[in-house]
Structure 1
């Protein structure tokens, strides 16, 4: 890491305002875009064991992915993580997560309709073809059958080796987070009123967790949590997760980042960034790298990355897009959601992950949010096609308005003695 003089907190605050929160007064406001990252957990169709990226014997996903890539004109490139990545013709990128989870990062799209089409054009045939080779790609929040001891680190690059050392030093569930969880992360533009959207997205985070919970099972048994993935994230100590009260949005995020221990640290131990800065050991490049190792429910990156949803099945991809963009990108819906939610409540994340929509308060608010989002989406026909709205409405009718999430289907299957 670079040696440098002490960084002025005012300079760090200004950097966050301009580059993370898009608050520069000269920044032009483009038409809103939307993006997503979807993660899939590969497991053996026979044994349920998580399938590695590469293996000397037995199934592995990289040969299958290469074969698929050749047929679909993907370009293979090296990556800094020790395994290749694949660039798709539409600009999407396929990479691996530390446990071998497959991640598709779709390009930023001018509409939710275009994004859903982009995601499904890759994910649906990939699921089908890998299944033919004995590999199931699961769209759930955590690998349900096996413990972390069955999933070694799959990425030998420096970032994840160091992150593993950090997680082991803390003694938390961080390794499970890295190697066994999967999510659907939605990227949204901040637009003309960034702090209003930031506040609503942070207030929505617990409800997004509850609505799309799909990880109630771990090691083959119910965990007591609708989203065990959310619990694993809460157990990740080190002050780098959660949501925010938004009383002073940028200042609050600065304090959060300064207090968080540095993973890619310039010396022994994992001291907070503010301590390394006090010692004059870090520069702006180190600051920007540090920001990429923070994992709040909503992460500011010049746009907002909403990280609260468990992995979502492909047939329901439109639902989280409608929920988030249908509110944020339609000014009357944004105001209605702000009035409904009030101040963000970070403590609500616990009940949202544990109880999901079985908590009556969460269920009632979630149903109202769904209604607001559908109204907002219907007012933006150029951004949401009718099929997107119909799909989201069906999801909300089947699950949210019945105080259910996909996690309840999994629990019902266990109760009925149907294999998960």
Structure 2
């Protein structure tokens, strides 16, 4: 058994420790990094069914095959391999509840490096999948299979969440096993910088949702939505999802985020290989030694870090900021998302321009835009302007930010070209979801099985 870390042993005796844990994320600009995460569905080539954990082809076999390569160490939960970690880079491969296969990329300096990492990962994973009779596809929501068709992964925290989710909303289980996303994690240099980036990110998240909309199907039929994945979050769990109006309050900062998280009900306590069910209970009570069933015990910093992962807003603060509002999608989109947010947030002029663009938006208007984006995508409106119109301006700001960053590849190119897939969407007025809907109706004649050959990696 591995030795306990210092965070496993550090007891939480005051809220100041929690505030400090977020503040420790502050980094000078030359140390800012880009961490990109993306999920994809893995399926059996013979019948397009999602891979179970066991069997071949299966998720366990896929993890083991990747783990045979240099640099990857298995992460075990009991007797089950549930993830891989690269000690040299900090990257990891993990599993979502329905076997969605996720790369959590290393913290990298440029989007050129991010794209190389994505390419290496998808090339390796595709080769292994081909050998075992499996395929991978990037979409925001499973296009064909119902909940009962999907096998759950053998992870203790998912069992607790699976039992708790239906108590809070009608689509929590769909979120767990039928959605895929791409997200990017970015840094800040101070509390004031964090506040600015959080506000811009919350306000503009519906723009990203629309530009990356790529989930119009449910169980082989059109859902009436362009980002069903985004819609799912509207009825998952109101205690831990949705708009964050307090981010725009005058007193927002690290302490206010801590207060928000202390009000998010707990899911579990992790001890050794066991996940102990405390779903719905209060972390505040835990800090007072009054948690029902654990009276007299107080949490560790590891407990707090676990708890931070159990809130699901579309922008989430840890010791970095996570942008979580985009559908999983085609290969080129996996580099477009970090380009979008890095261009807006990692250049001071671009951040100023983005702030100016949203300066007069109200929280109510932003909330409505978020609610409208899953169905209307580029046609959703705020202040009489469509997302498509706003996106033109946003992409111009992001492109300027990337140009001024001046991060060049070996050919002397900046990072600007990674925005090209999004520029195409704005110019044509057609999202990936719009393209899928048209092909489904006209070329596939309603046969969803054809999506696998046409759009797999």
Q: TM-score, normalised by structure 2?
A: 0.81
Is contact 1:22–1:303 with CA below 8 Å preserved after alignment? no
| Partner in structure 2 of residue 315 of structure 1 | 332
Bigger mean CA offset, 259-268 vs 242-251: 259-268
Q: Provide the C-alpha distance between the structure 2 equivalents of 1:92 and 1:108, rounded to a whole number of angstroms.
A: 8
| Partner in structure 2 of residue 263 of structure 1 | 267
Q: Does 1:280 align with 2:290?
A: yes
Q: Provide the C-alpha distance between the structure 2 equivalents of 1:304 and 1:237, rounded to a whole number of angstroms.
A: 21
| Partner in structure 1 of residue 225 of structure 2 | 225
Q: Provide the C-alpha distance between the structure 2 equivalents of 1:294 and 1:171, rounded to a whole number of angstroms.
A: 15
Q: Provide the C-alpha distance between the structure 2 equivalents of 1:225 and 1:51, rounded to a whole number of angstroms.
A: 26
Secondary structure of 2:332's aligned partner? helix
Q: Does 1:104 align with 2:97?
A: no
- Cα deviation 1:202-240 (Å, max 9, x = unaligned): 111111111111111111111111111111122112410
Bigger mean CA offset, 222-231 vs 77-86: 77-86
Q: Does 1:296 align with 2:300?
A: no
Alignment of 1:22-41 (within 5 A): 22=24, 28=28, 30-41=30-41
| Partner in structure 2 of residue 3 of structure 1 | none
Q: Provide the C-alpha distance between the structure 1 equivalents of 2:263 and 2:233, rounded to a whole number of angstroms.
A: 18
Secondary structure of 2:48's aligned partner? coil
| Partner in structure 2 of residue 4 of structure 1 | none
| Partner in structure 1 of residue 252 of structure 2 | 249
- Deviation of 1:252 after TM superposition, in Å, equals 4.6
Change beyond 3 A, Cα 1:119–1:269: closer
- Deviation of 1:300 after TM superposition, in Å, equals 1.0
Change beyond 3 A, Cα 1:224–1:200: same
Alignment of 1:16-415 (within 5 A): 16-20=18-22, 22=24, 28=28, 30-55=30-55, 59-70=57-68, 72-80=69-77, 82-88=80-86, 90-131=89-130, 133-155=132-154, 157-192=155-190, 193-245=193-245, 246=247, 247=249, 248-250=251-253, 252-264=256-268, 270-274=280-284, 280-281=290-291, 282-285=298-301, 286-342=303-359, 343=361, 345-360=366-381, 361-382=386-407, 386=413, 388-393=415-420, 395-415=421-441
- Cα deviation 1:257-314 (Å, max 9, x = unaligned): 2332221278776234446667732535444432221111111111111111111322
Could you tell me which runs of 5 or more consecutive residues in structure 2 were left unpaired when the two chains were aligned.
1-11, 270-275, 292-297, 445-449, 452-457
Q: How many residues align?
A: 405
Q: Provide the C-alpha distance between the structure 2 equivalents of 1:401 and 1:278, rounded to a whole number of angstroms.
A: 56
Q: TM-score, normalised by structure 1?
A: 0.87
Change beyond 3 A, Cα 1:65–1:184: same
Change beyond 3 A, Cα 1:46–1:302: same
- Deviation of 1:378 after TM superposition, in Å, equals 1.0
Q: Provide the C-alpha distance between the structure 2 equivalents of 1:166 and 1:110, rounded to a whole number of angstroms.
A: 39
- Cα deviation 1:129-180 (Å, max 9, x = unaligned): 424543221111111101111113212x321111112113335211111112
- Cα deviation 1:310-356 (Å, max 9, x = unaligned): 11322233211111001101101001011112355234211112211
Q: Provide the C-alpha distance between the structure 2 equivalents of 1:239 and 1:371, rounded to a whole number of angstroms.
A: 36
Is contact 1:50–1:143 with CA below 8 Å preserved after alignment? no
**TM-align CA RMSD:** 2.7
Could you tell me which runs of 5 or more consecutive residues in structure 1 were left unpaired when the two chains were aligned.
1-6
